[in-house]
Structure 1
Amino acid sequence: MRVLLAGATGAIGRQLLPLLLSTGHTVVGTSRSASGVAAIRAAGADAVRLDVFDRDATFQALADARPDAVIHQLTALGERRFDENARLRREGTRNLVDAAVKAGTGQIVAQSISWVYGPGAAPATEDEPLDASREGLVGPARALEEAAASMERHVVLRYGLLYGPGTWYSPGGWAEGELRAGRIAAGPAVSSFVHVVDAARAALLALDWPDGVVNVVDDEPATAWEWVPALAAALDVPTPPPSATPDRSGALALEAPASEAPASGALPVGREGWERGASNAKARALGWRPAHPSWRTGFPALTR
């Protein structure tokens, strides 16, 4: 299959590119930088320098590549540019989808997030509604998913919090600095994680999955009371004291636009109903088997 990998030099893209090539796919990777294009070519794929906010250039790139499928892994989260990331989900995805349809591409696999569900007592499943009360975060994700669903074939991957190489939760990453500064508290908010390599494997498998939404998370949603000390131990930084409430700067909320994030420091809040993690039962039923089924074993492996 001829695949256009949008975001081939991102955290997931770097893991996914060799998987696609090793399984026989022909890949055209995109990057916004000349150095990214060079890295893609060095890995053995074709490459194009592309900014998906440039609609005309996006149409031209897809017309030239004529892929059978697009895998959309574009974010601005590596640089923590949250407003730009929201724009990528809305405007960038729409440009990519429209260009793919025009080029005759029939399939898309797109990256979304698993903390978009409304409140509930148990880990969220794919048939539950999105949380309309958190428009700043959920709105752009909804726009991305709706754009993807307009294509003939589409799979939306709702990833958990990514950890591993190139992510916030890795040695030298954002979370390590926040832990050292005491700005991640161990509180009751529940999160679901997924190792970046397992996320990439899901994107590869999704080329053969039926249309729809799939949560790609590990087996064990956990409170910050549990995972924060484990991450601190893995990164060899001081463990923050437990708190009755989570620090909103610590995990999920800082993927929201800057206008919705705290200005600085810790902002204790009560556990919200949507802070409940997600279920991976559907992904497992489709044949996905994470090499890191729990953050409990995945975190200690970060520095090996």
Structure 2
Amino acid sequence: MTSLRPRRRTLLRAAPLALATGALTPVLASCTRASERLDAESNAVPEVDLSGIEEVPEISALVPADIRARGELVNGAALNYAPGEFVGSSGRAIGYDIDILAGIGAVLGLATRTEAAVFAQIIPAVGSTYDVGMSSFTVNEERLAAVDMVSYFQAGISYAVKAGNPYDIHPDDLCGKRVALQVGTYQEELSIERSQECRDQGLGGYDMLAYASNSDAATNVAGGKGDILMADSPVTAYAVARSRGTLEPIGEIEESALNGIVVSKDQPELAEAIRVAVQHLIDDGHMERILAAWGNEAGMIPTAEVNPQP
């Protein structure tokens, strides 16, 4: 069942994602050993060695003088979106966005610092409180009217099922199926609409299993309580990578869109410096290495752009 709504990806972040913070806890005591293994494995957070990324003088020379003099690039991020950006057991910001930012900083000869922020308040504060906003922002026309955005990743909606797909689930035919997702997300909103479409056609609606976190949704699909996990593609990929073979991806990524690093329109030189730094990470293989460590190399893009077409 395919939605006819305009293509976009998750916008809502009502509940923190606990996929890699050790909070992947079974909802029911009857969950299988497969889901328990998923819980244990999800505690493993990759440590990406960034020591091989060095300053590139011709790129660092593009950094505006005031930021170069300060020696630090300050980022605002909503730290509730594993595996993009979240809080690790040490209390520090971690995730593939944080590692990519550190790589960008290394190329530019800058230290990087991420400050926790409310998602909706990041963009208005870029250019004053923060130099950049790197928090899994989807590139769209509304944002491009307000800020510059440097593309670095691509994401959408994706699915996973229990390994072997024992219930013979197909993402394009979920009427009457048990769809596990996180409450308060775009996936929940979309599932409600698609479920109504099923009923309008005289079919059974979705049996929606809405959990407080995507981690709980993933756990219960691995354990057989849910038929299919529906989540943002980075979240699904990370869940599969950490599942020790108890989950497998299925279907194509839907509503795929670019993610972008937010820069103030008053700082075009900084946007260009970041674009060139991102392209350097892509061309030298560092970007793929970082994303692969987080199970998200499928989100690689070949070319970084300032203000790409949404």
Shorter-chain TM-score bucket reads: under 0.3
Bigger RCO of structures 1 and 2 (CA < 8 A, at least 6 apart): 2
Q: Tell me the TM-score normalized by structure 1.
A: 0.28
Pick the structure with greater CA Rg: 2
